[in-house]
Amino acid sequence: GTETILAVAEAIAERDGSRVLRLVETLSERGGDMRHFCRDLMTHFRNLLVAKVVGHDRELLPLSDSEMAQVLAQAERFSEEELVRAFRVLAETEQNMRYASEPRFVLEVGLMRLVHLERVRPLVQVIRALEDLERRMASGMTSTSPLGEAEAGAPAPTPPTPPSATASPPHSEVERLKEELRERGKMLILGALDRAKTIEITEETLRVTFPASLAIHRDTLLESTNKQVIEAVARQVFGRPLALQVHIEADRTPTTTSDRRARAIAEEDPIVRAFVKTFKGEIMEVVAPEEGKKDAS
């Protein structure tokens, strides 16, 4: 039932493999269907992911008030990336259970994989700890002198203060944006941005460009909820609204002299330039009018 689902998810969050196995044992003793339970657990982790990304949304999460409160609270125990990985493991486990002579064993192994999945959040904490250690070591270089005890009466020369001893080096604008997304646990968005070829920030837009081979990440960023998150974070970081634009890099270089001439004319046309500026667009292709239509006009 629901209580068992919540208990298993909680045990996974706690990395308590022993409790997970005991819960499966209890389910088996009650005659529970293991594959049905695995599908229910998949649904629960889907709900946790939706709650993590969207929050309290009745359309996407048609749950009672008490169920909604439980899902929202438990979603805080995981990052988005962890929930996606958990769902994938459960989907694979459910498929393997179809042909297994002992579905319970397959379920137990799948749940143990969830318990022992490498967590993303601790890795982020390790990176921050290393950065803090680096700053402390740099500060120690200015506050401690190896000659301090040997020359008790004479002041020891103070070595030059490295830049990192007084202040952390300023992050680039893009790194500031990524750091805030990392703080919020938006690892799917962060992963997509890490694969972008270029990220440009103007007065009004946040322009992300992917090579054609990574075009799939455009859908991730332009998904309505993710787009709202990115624009909200950008506004918080930079203090002004930025419209997200995602482009796929393509070879649009004109192949002939006439093509290049036509594109140059289009780029200089005042009406075209006004449209590009107003709608924050770009010229993708210049197509010459058909002869018949040209003559008719």
Which pLDDT score is estimated for 279? 60
38 close to 86: Cβ distance less than 8 angstroms = no
* Same domain flag for 94 and 12: yes
Alpha carbons 87 and 119: distance in angstroms, whole number: 14
* Same domain flag for 180 and 127: yes
* Same domain flag for 109 and 130: no
User: Mind giving me the DSSP string for 136-158?
Assistant: HHHHHHHH--TTTTTSSSSPPPP
Instruction: Determine which of 57-66, 89-98, 192-201, 255-264 has the lowest per-residue pLDDT on average.
Output: 255-264
Q: Which of 222, 248, 274 is the last residue of a domain?
A: 248
Highest mean pLDDT of the ranges 7-11, 97-101, 128-132, 191-195: 7-11
* Same domain flag for 59 and 173: no
For residue 77, being part of any structural domain is answered with yes
Residues 197-212: what's their mean pLDDT? 89
- pLDDT-based confidence at residue 294 (cuts at 50, 70, 90): very low
For residue 150, being part of any structural domain is answered with no
For residue 80, being part of any structural domain is answered with yes
Q: Which of 226, 248, 270 is the last residue of a domain?
A: 248
Residues in the chain: 297
Residues 63-71: what's their mean pLDDT? 89
Q: Which of 248, 263, 285 is the last residue of a domain?
A: 248
Tell me which residue range forms the domain holding 201.
122-139+163-248
* Same domain flag for 24 and 110: yes
Count of structural domains within the chain: 2
For residue 105, being part of any structural domain is answered with yes
* Same domain flag for 134 and 242: yes
Alpha carbons 86 and 216: distance in angstroms, whole number: 21
For residue 68, being part of any structural domain is answered with yes
Which pLDDT score is estimated for 283? 67
* Same domain flag for 126 and 111: no
- What's the whole-number average pLDDT of the chain? 79
For residue 156, being part of any structural domain is answered with no
β-pair type (243-248, 205-210):
parallel
User: pLDDT of 77-105, one tens digit each?
Assistant: 888 888 998 999 999 999 999 888 999 99
Centre a 10 Å sphere on the Cβ of residue 137 and count the other Cβ atoms it contains. Answer: 11
- pLDDT-based confidence at residue 108 (cuts at 50, 70, 90): very high
* Same domain flag for 27 and 100: yes
Residues 146-163: what's their mean pLDDT? 46
More confident residue, 296 or 222: 222
Which pLDDT score is estimated for 11? 93
What CATH number is associated with residue 86?
A: 1.20.272.10
The predicted model scores a pTM of 0.43
For residue 266, being part of any structural domain is answered with no
What percent of the chain has a predicted confidence (pLDDT) above 70?
73
- pLDDT-based confidence at residue 278 (cuts at 50, 70, 90): low
* Same domain flag for 91 and 25: yes
Centre a 10 Å sphere on the Cβ of residue 30 and count the other Cβ atoms it contains. Answer: 9
Residues 149-163: what's their mean pLDDT? 46
Instruction: Determine which of 29-33, 212-216, 285-289 has the lowest per-residue pLDDT on average.
Output: 285-289
* Same domain flag for 100 and 60: yes
* Same domain flag for 167 and 212: yes
Helices vs. strands in the chain: H and E counts, helices first: 15, 3
Which pLDDT score is estimated for 225? 86
Residues 131-147: what's their mean pLDDT? 61
- Give the H/E segment covering residue 18: helix 17-29
295, pLDDT greater than 50 = no
* Same domain flag for 85 and 107: yes
Which pLDDT score is estimated for 94? 92
Alpha carbons 197 and 59: distance in angstroms, whole number: 36
Alpha carbons 133 and 292: distance in angstroms, whole number: 73
For residue 167, being part of any structural domain is answered with yes
Residues 167-195: what's their mean pLDDT? 77
Residues 228-250: what's their mean pLDDT? 88
How many angstroms from the chain centroid is the CA of residue 208? 14
21, pLDDT greater than 90 = yes
What CATH number is associated with residue 167?
A: 3.30.300
